[in-house]
Each structure stands twice: as C-alpha cells, then as structure tokens.
C-alpha cells in the first residue's frame, strides 16, 4: 500500500500531528524523514504545553540543543527568558554560583551579589546541557529545585523560590553513571519525567544524503562557489559510514570537501580521503561456542575462556618441558587486557573496572612472584625457567619504569600510559626510586 493511501486513511488527529511536525521542521531547519526523528519532534511538541521536566538523550552531535528551543517556543513560557547552560564547560568551583547565584563576600572575588540562572530565568525555560557532568553537590541543589522550586544562593541563608521549566540533555548513560556513584538516582527520575531520545545519524541512513546536499548548498551559497555533488557510489559510501560525530561530523566533512576539491562531482576515491578510518580494537571478543549453554552471562563466558586458556597453557608448558628437559615452569597468570611491548619486556595493563572475583572462582589463577603489582612480567623469566628469581618486586618495578622512559625518550605521559598507571603515580615512583632522567 502506498504512502499516500496510508496518509488518506490516517485520522484527522494524526494528519494534524504530521502537519505540526513538518511545520516545526521548517521553523527550526531540521532535515530528515526518519520516523524516530519525527517521533522525537512530536513528543517535544506535545509536552511543550505542560511544565513537565524533559530529559533529552542521544550521542554527541545529534542536535539535542534544538529540542529545548522547540519546547520553549511552543509553550506558554515562550515570552519568558530562555537560557542554555553547558554544565560540562563550567568549572566545579563556580557552577553553583552560576546556577543559583551568590551573596556578596561569600567567597574570594564575590565583591557583589549575583543572581543565578534559576533566578533570572523565572517564568521561563532553563536548558541544562551535559547535565551528567554536574558535581554531586550541585545535583543535590538541583533536586531541591525540581522538588519544590526552592534554592539558596551560595553564601546565603534565605530560601528563594523560582518558577522555571527545566529541560536537560546528556550523552552520558545515566543508569551506568548511577551504578558508579557519579549521578544521583533520585535526580535521574526527577529529570526523566518525559524522555526524548534523538537517534544517531547511522540509524537514519536515508537522511544522510539529504543533510549532505543541504550542507553543501548552504556552504556554496555563503562562499559563492558551485555546490558539490556525489556519485551514486559515493552516496552509498556516505550512508554506510559510521559517523561517530553524527550530524556535526557530516557537516564538517561536507565543508572540508567543498573548499578543498576543485572537481565538484565527488567520487568514492575523493570521499575516502575525508572519512577517518575507524580505530579498531585488537582485543579479543567473547563469542559463545556451539556448546555454550543458552543464557550464559558475559562474566560466565569470561571465566570459561580463562579456564580454557589455562588448559591450553598447561599443555603447551608440558610440551616445552618435554623438549627442553628442564624443570616444570611455574604457572604465571596474566589478566587478558591490552598488552604493550617495551624492549624485551611485555607490559600488561590490568583493568581495574572488572567485577571482583571470589577466591573460589580464581583459586587456580594466583599470580606468582614473577608478576608485579602493575601486571609487568619479564619475558626472560618466562623463556628461561631454570633461572631462579632473586630480584625483589621493587627492583622489577624500577627496571620497568626505566625501560618505559627509555622507550618513550623520557616522555612521562607516554611511559605512564604504556605501564598502565597514572602520570601522577609515575612521578611518585620516579622520586621514590631516585630514577635519574
């Protein structure tokens, strides 16, 4: 059945809804026909007439900043103030003052009292972009405003009232941030009264050529040059690219090609020069085997892989011992994380984000004295098992730090990254061991 017949069968309310969405697109310059995008616009238009708090989610570059404007302009508050605050761009020490204001003398430099955005935007709309970056102390203050419209200026003791509409946006996975203790769960549910999700550009492939043509035409008009076009093969290439930067990245690429290329018909060879190669991880991926029980969790899969690895290593060790006639090698466990080669030494960066494992589960995976605190293992001790280990862990650690610094020509940042430790920890270790750079 054709799209036109579907439109004819739609109810008057549905047709009005579609007309409202199209009108909003024209007003705010939104390009695209994706159903999920239209749904997000429709929700914004519906919720605008209320005072409900809205949480907009989506990847960076998807255009989340347009939706608070849609909500404000279609609300009864459209004649009030509209403020957009980037919470991630304001230093932690001043964010409370920016949002809630401060009293004179409340801190160094507070020579006058100052009104915050919640006070200035009274009867209007306040857009809190990157709300997931707010400090926990500020989150507690924001929760109080959302609950009863009350706040206190920094350094003050007078409770003030505000009537402001909150629209928040984030590209952070807030449920994950809650699990890690970085975001308040009660604040999340207060903000998430009406959720609006903006689809990533790779999820709306049909819109990519439309956006490209729009960006190319706009750039050509501003700079008085012919607009670039794409060959059919280049269009396919554009649609199949991942676009991690979403609409923002597509616009940048379009403008780069428009200014750099003299041939205005862009082929796949030309387009490929402007599409960065995706960084592909070489880390192993846990894939279930044919005999894997249905419903096995990723953690159980990891345990199974580790035990299979132990079995393979044991068999390999037995073969080596049979060939060399040397004493059996002591088992050495290395956590399967990213590995860096420094000279003749393997440096394994051990992840600290893995879930804790019980003693029973890892009873047979006990690191030997050959393994240091940072997962550093000398390959010489692995290849020549007959050599007794007489050096201390501290000596090993100092040796690894020196080798890392030499390998990276004294660049501490790169050396710390290779060792899998922070730069601050590396500085402390250099001073502790008296390493002369």
Q: Which pLDDT score, from 0 to 100, does residue 316 have? A: 75
Q: Which pLDDT score, from 0 to 100, does residue 109 have? A: 81
Q: What is the pLDDT of residues 298-322, one digit of tens each?
A: 556 666 667 677 777 877 777 777 7
Q: Do 95 and 194 reside in the same domain of the chain?
A: yes
Q: Do 137 and 171 reside in the same domain of the chain?
A: yes
Q: Do 149 and 220 reside in the same domain of the chain?
A: no
Instruction: Point out the domain boundary residue: 199, 215, 243.
Output: 199
Nearest to 190 by CA among 154, 153, 139, 150: 139
CATH classification of the domain holding 254: 1.10.8.60
- Interval 348-363 mean pLDDT: 45
Q: Do 224 and 135 reside in the same domain of the chain?
A: no
Q: For residue 8, report the phi and psi dihedrals to the nearest 5 degrees.
A: -65, -35
- Interval 405-418 mean pLDDT: 82
Instruction: Point out the domain boundary residue: 159, 179, 199.
Output: 199
Residue with tokens 């040796």: 399
Q: Do 189 and 266 reside in the same domain of the chain?
A: no
Reported confidence tier of residue 51, pLDDT bands at 50, 70, 90 = very high
* Token pair for 377: 């293992």
Q: Do 181 and 265 reside in the same domain of the chain?
A: no
CA 3, 8, 14 angle in degrees (round to 5)? 95
Domain assignment present for residue 359? The answer is: yes
Which range marks the domain in which residue 417 is found?
Answer: 330-433
Q: Do 210 and 181 reside in the same domain of the chain?
A: no
Q: Do 10 and 38 reside in the same domain of the chain?
A: yes
- Quick count: other Cβ atoms within 10 Å of Cβ 47? 20
Reported confidence tier of residue 10, pLDDT bands at 50, 70, 90 = low
- Is pLDDT above 80 for 244? yes
Domain assignment present for residue 309? The answer is: no
Q: Which pLDDT score, from 0 to 100, does residue 308 have? A: 72
Q: How many CA atoms lie within 13 A of 369 on its CB side?
A: 8
* Token pair for 37: 């995008």
Q: How many domains does the chain have?
A: 3
Percent of the chain with pLDDT over 70: 73
Reported confidence tier of residue 388, pLDDT bands at 50, 70, 90 = very low
The more confidently predicted of residues 417 and 385 is 417
- Interval 318-333 mean pLDDT: 59
Domain assignment present for residue 294? The answer is: no
Domain assignment present for residue 299? The answer is: no
- What are the start-end ranges of the H helices in 195-324? 207-223, 232-240, 246-260, 268-272, 298-324
Rounded to the nearest integer, the mean pLDDT of the chain is: 80
Q: Do 128 and 81 reside in the same domain of the chain?
A: yes
Residue with tokens 């991690």: 244
Q: Do 209 and 164 reside in the same domain of the chain?
A: no
Q: What is the pLDDT of residues 62-99, one digit of tens each?
A: 999 999 999 999 999 999 999 999 999 999 889 999 99
Domain assignment present for residue 355? The answer is: yes
Instruction: Point out the domain boundary residue: 173, 199, 225.
Output: 199
Q: Do 41 and 130 reside in the same domain of the chain?
A: yes
CATH classification of the domain holding 416: 1.10.10.60
Q: Do 38 and 88 reside in the same domain of the chain?
A: yes
pTM (whole model) above 0.75? no
Q: Which pLDDT score, from 0 to 100, does residue 361 have? A: 45
- Cα–Cα distance measured from residue 252 to residue 245, given in angstroms and rounded to the nearest whole number: 10
Domain assignment present for residue 303? The answer is: no
CATH classification of the domain holding 29: 3.40.50.300
Domain assignment present for residue 281? The answer is: no
Domain assignment present for residue 74? The answer is: yes
């Amino acid at each position: 059945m054709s799209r036109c017949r579907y439109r004819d069968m739609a109810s008057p309310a549905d047709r009005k809804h579609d007309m409202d969405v199209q009108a909003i697109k024209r007003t705010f310059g939104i390009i695209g026909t994706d159903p999920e995008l239209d749904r997000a616009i429709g929700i914004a238009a519906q919720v605008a007439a209320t005072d409900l708090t809205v949480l907009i989610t989506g990847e960076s570059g998807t255009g989340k900043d347009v939706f608070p404007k849609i909500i404000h302009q279609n609300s009864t508050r459209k004649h009030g103030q509209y403020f957009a605050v980037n919470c991630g761009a304001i230093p932690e020490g001043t964010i409370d003052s920016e949002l809630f204001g401060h009293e004179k003398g409340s801190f160094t430099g507070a020579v006058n009292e100052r009104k915050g955005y919640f006070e200035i935007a009274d009867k209007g709309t306040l857009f809190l972009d990157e709300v997931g970056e707010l400090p926990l102390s500020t989150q507690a203050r924001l929760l109080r405003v959302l609950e009863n419209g009350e706040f206190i200026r920094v350094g003050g003791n007078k409770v003030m009232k505000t009537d402001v509409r909150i629209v928040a946006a984030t590209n952070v996975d807030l449920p994950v941030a809650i699990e890690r203790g970085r975001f308040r769960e009660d604040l999340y549910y207060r903000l998430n009264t009406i959720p609006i999700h903006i689809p990533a550009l790779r999820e709306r492939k049909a819109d990519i050529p439309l956006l490209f043509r729009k960006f190319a035409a706009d750039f050509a008009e501003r700079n008085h040059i012919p607009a670039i076009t794409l060959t059919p093969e280049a269009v396919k290439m554009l649609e199949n690219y991942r676009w991690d930067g979403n609409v923002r990245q597509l616009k940048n690429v379009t403008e780069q090609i428009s200014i750099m290329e003299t041939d205005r018909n862009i082929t796949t060879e030309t387009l490929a020069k402007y599409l960065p190669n995706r960084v592909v991880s070489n880390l192993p991926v846990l894939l279930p085997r044919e005999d894997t029980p249905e419903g096995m969790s990723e953690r159980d899969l990891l345990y199974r892989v580790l035990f299979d690895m132990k079995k393979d290593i044991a068999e390999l060790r037995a073969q080596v011992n049979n060939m060399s006639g040397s004493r059996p090698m002591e088992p050495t466990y290395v956590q399967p994380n990213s590995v860096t080669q420094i000279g003749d030494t393997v440096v394994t960066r051990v992840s600290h984000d893995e879930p804790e494992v019980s003693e029973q589960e890892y009873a047979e995976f006990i690191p030997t004295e050959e393994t240091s605190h940072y997962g550093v293992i000398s390959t010489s001790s692995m290849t020549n098992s007959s050599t007794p280990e007489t050096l201390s862990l501290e000596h090993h650690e100092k040796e690894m730090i020196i080798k890392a610094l030499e390998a990276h020509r004294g660049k501490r940042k790169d050396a710390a990254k290779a060792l899998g430790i922070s730069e601050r920890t590396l500085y402390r270790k250099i001073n502790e061991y008296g390493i002369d750079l």
